[in-house]
Amino acid sequence: MKYARWVLLAACGFCGGTGHALGQQAQMGPAEDARGLVSFDIGPQPLSSAVRAFSDVTGQALLVDERLLVGRMSPGARGEFTPEDALRRLLAGTGLRERYTSDKAFTLMPSVDANRDVTGAAPMPPVEERADTLVASYGAALQAAVEAALCRTPLTRPGEYRLALQVWVDGSGEVHRLRLLGSTGRAERDQAVESVLGGLRVDPPPPGLAQPLTLLLLPADASRPARC
Q: Contact at 8 Å (CB) between 188 and 155? A: yes
User: To the nearest whole number, what is the mean pLDDT of the chain?
Assistant: 76
The number of domains in the chain is: 1
Domain carrying residue 148: 6-217
- Do the domain assignments include residue 23? yes
How far, CA to CA in Å, does 148 sit from each of 83, 84, 97, 167, 227?
25, 27, 30, 15, 10
Could you give the CA distance from residue 153 to residue 136 in angstroms, rounded to a whole number?
28
pTM of the predicted protein model: 0.56
Residue 76 lies in a domain: yes
Residue 223 inside a domain? The answer is no
Cβ density class 198-226: b for 16+ within 10 Å, e for less: eebebbebeeebeebbbbbbbebeebbeb
User: Where is pLDDT greater, at 224 or 59?
Assistant: 59
In tens, the pLDDT along 93-117 reads 999 998 886 667 787 888 865 444 4
Look at residue 222 and tell me if it is in a domain: no
Biggest alpha carbon–alpha carbon distance for the chain: 59
pLDDT grade for 89, boundaries at 50, 70 and 90: very high
Is residue 228, in this structure, part of any structural domain at all? no
* Contact by Cβ (8 Å): 167, 145: no
- Is 168 inside a domain boundary? yes
In a domain, 224, yes or no: no
In a domain, 1, yes or no: no
